[in-house]
Amino acid sequence: MENFTPISALLGGALIGISVSLLLLFNGRMAGISGIMNGVFSAPKKEEVWRTLFLVGLIIGAALFQFLTQDSLSAREGYPLWLIIIGGFLVGFGTRLGSGCTSGHGICGIANFSIRSIGATLTFMASGMLTVFILKHLVGVV
Amino acid sequence: MKMNLVALLAGVIFGLGLALSQMIDPNKVLNFLDISGDWDPSLAFVMMGALVVTMVTFRFILKRPSPIFESSFHVSKQTVINKPLIIGAAVFGVGWGMTGYCPGPAVASLGLFSKEGVLMVVAIYAGFFAERYFVKK
């Protein structure tokens, strides 16, 4: 096992849980990031503002962590950009067709005991693992 | 106004969580998905940490007649596992495995001035628009 960090993972996960709880308690919304991103350009005007602010908050949160920990994280460099372009497109297409991503299905949906979200989460975990297996161990591009 | 402030605050906390848990690091995500290599199970703990909180809070929150700043909860009432759900989730997983980014970390990585993060976010939006135009609802 490489660089196993269970404590910071649990605490970071708990922060994510607190965030989605706040959004549900006060605003009545499930914090599915793909749905929030999509709604920035497709929801009614009033709906676009909070979505945009949530995404701005995500960026501020990451930048704030960098600032508080004196740049403990670094952005990845040198990864094949064709994988980012095609993979990013598939993430966008797939999360719309499948009505959610890691946050919407994996955290909100499962906490709501949604059978759809459990099915979706098992599916994207499995296809993600299979994809990494093929790219890393069979093809060797990453 | 109040709803917008909650959204901003929730976003900041979510972003801090992604950074603290290192889910914002695409290589860490790829190591989690690489079960046949040097598997790093950390990200399963991110999900566990989040679910420990939401499993409890959602019970209490959804028992309320309404959210605090809104008239009703916006929660999906769909209950059927259908083809679009499974095909969509499978396609998303392929993209996740190719890049190491799901939507949240892709946006948050902009806070680390990630160049590939910008490309990732643009590509995700291209996928959104393609799905809207090519998939009949």
Structural domain spans, chain A: 6-139
Residue B137 has pLDDT above 80, yes or no: no
What is the pTM for the complete model shown? 0.96
Which residues, 6 or more positions from A117, have their beta carbon under 8 angstroms from its beta carbon?
A: A100, A104, A105, A106, A108, A109, A110
Chain B CB contacts of A22 under 8 Å are: 6, 9-10, 13
| Predicted pLDDT of residue B81 | 95
DSSP states of A109-139 as a string?
A: IHHTT-HHHHHHHHHHHHHHHHHHIIIIIII
| Predicted pLDDT of residue A123 | 98
Q: In chain A, which residue's Cα lies nearest the Cα of B6?
A: A23
CB–CB contact A19 B13 (8 Å): yes
Range B9-20 average pLDDT? 98
Chain A CB contacts of B98 under 8 Å are: 83-84, 86-87, 90, 131, 135
Range B31-40 average pLDDT? 92
Q: List, for residues B22-34, the tens digit of each pLDDT value.
A: 999 999 999 999 9
Question: Which tokens is A67 given?
Answer: 């600032």
Write the single-letter amino acid at A34.
S
Residue B73 has pLDDT above 70, yes or no: yes
What mean pLDDT, rounded, does chain B reach? 95
Write the single-letter amino acid at A97.
L
Residues in chain A: 142
Question: Which tokens is A125 given?
Answer: 């975990």
**ipTM, interface predicted TM-score of the complex:** 0.96
Stretches in chain A below the pLDDT threshold 70 = 1-2
| Predicted pLDDT of residue A43 | 73
The CA-atom distances, in angstroms, between A109 and each of A31, A103, A112 are 10, 8, 5
Of A61, A75, A77, which has the smallest distance from its Cβ to B14's Cβ? A61
